[in-house]
Amino acid sequence: MLPKMFDCSVMDGALLRGYEPNIKKITHSFAIPCETNSYIDYISIEHAIVPVVKYHIFDRFENLIHGCSTRQGGVSKSHLASMNLSSSRGDDILCVKENYRRFGEALSFDPNRLVCSDQVHSTNIYIATEEDAGRGTTEKEKLKEIDGIVTNVKNLPIMTFYADCVPLYFYDPVKEVIAMAHSGWRGTVNNIGGKMIILMQKQYNCNPRDIVCAIGPSICKACYEVSEDVAVAFADAYSPEQYKQMITAKDNNKYQLDLHMACYFNFMNAGICPSNIALPDYCTCCNPNVFFSHRATCGKRGNLGAVIMMRQ
């Protein structure tokens, strides 16, 4: 769906290319419970149009805000163009600040209240409270060595960062708890998704049957070649049946790994209903004009942000 307003004066080339209707979608090798999982919402704000990837599975919750940024709709330049949400990748801090302002305005959250992770591919999860509001959009403010954030506080946006790794969204509408987790291959094989579900049960008395999850835009199986040590780690972590479904061995002693399926199994193994799991439609690496992709750019890239928040 194209936006009605089209202000070319604030758009860069990447953004204009983003309006091509042929953004490549992922074809999953396993059955998808939801027919259409995600969509790109082109949100008009003053001076810009900000595309945000959202999930239909969360649309019915009126008090819930969620979404993953694209690389479009911001003000950063060159390889960081244009919606870079990292202040540690050489960007002008004023550009990063303006990008946060735009993303916050598009989704109606206050960027000054953000709780953000400084990720290290761990399974460390932080329980955020009201006192954490504002930790924060700069490297100094972020939660150190944290890959998952959970909270039951309203009006407290929590955000994790991406450029191929997998964003995991969690929402329990019964106990009113939200969470985000950064699940790269290490986080996935060490089951940060399942550990988050267990923590939600212990901390907030959540029932897994109530929890709704989404797997955010990230690298697809066709783009994700891994070495043997990674494949062995997955073989050790999953049942032979599950392993067979997520990994394909190749002639060159390499493997193609389906992180989406692995994350799906982490949710399933933790007791989440299949109909409460939304899969991603967009691969970051297949669409490097739309998303930041570490693989597609050999690391010369900015950061996407995935956010979730309950309104007051």
Binding site for Zn ion (CB under 5 A): 220, 223, 283, 285-286
Q: Hey, is 230 helix, strand or coil? A: helix
C-beta of 124 vs 256, nearer to Zn ion: 256
d(CA 19, CA 146): 35
Give min distance, CB of 289 to Zn ion, in A.
13
C-beta of 200 vs 286, nearer to Zn ion: 286
C-beta of 11 vs 223, nearer to Zn ion: 223
C-beta of 259 vs 286, nearer to Zn ion: 286
Give min distance, CB of 223 to Zn ion, in A.
3
Give min distance, CB of 32 to Zn ion, in A.
17
CA distances from 255 to 161, 190, 236 (A): 26, 19, 15
Give min distance, CB of 258 to Zn ion, in A.
11
Give min distance, CB of 254 to Zn ion, in A.
16
C-beta of 64 vs 286, nearer to Zn ion: 286
d(CA 212, CA 207): 11
Give min distance, CB of 224 to Zn ion, in A.
7
C-beta of 14 vs 283, nearer to Zn ion: 283
d(CA 246, CA 219): 13
How buried is residue 22: exposed, middle or buried, by Cβ count under 10 Å (0-12/13-18/19+)? exposed
Give min distance, CB of 23 to Zn ion, in A.
12
Beta bridge partners of 166: 183
Task: Determine the residue type at 60.
Answer: R
d(CA 60, CA 57): 7
Find the residue with minimal CB distance to Zn ion: 283
Strands 115-118 and 148-151 turn out to be unpaired
d(CA 214, CA 91): 30
C-beta of 72 vs 293, nearer to Zn ion: 293
CA angle in degrees (0–180, nearest 5) for 297-93-143: 80
d(CA 298, CA 102): 27
Task: Determine the residue type at 180.
Answer: M
Give min distance, CB of 183 to Zn ion, in A.
17
**Residue 104, both tokens:** 């916050």
- Residue 168: phi and psi, rounded to 5, are -115, 125
C-beta of 28 vs 175, nearer to Zn ion: 28
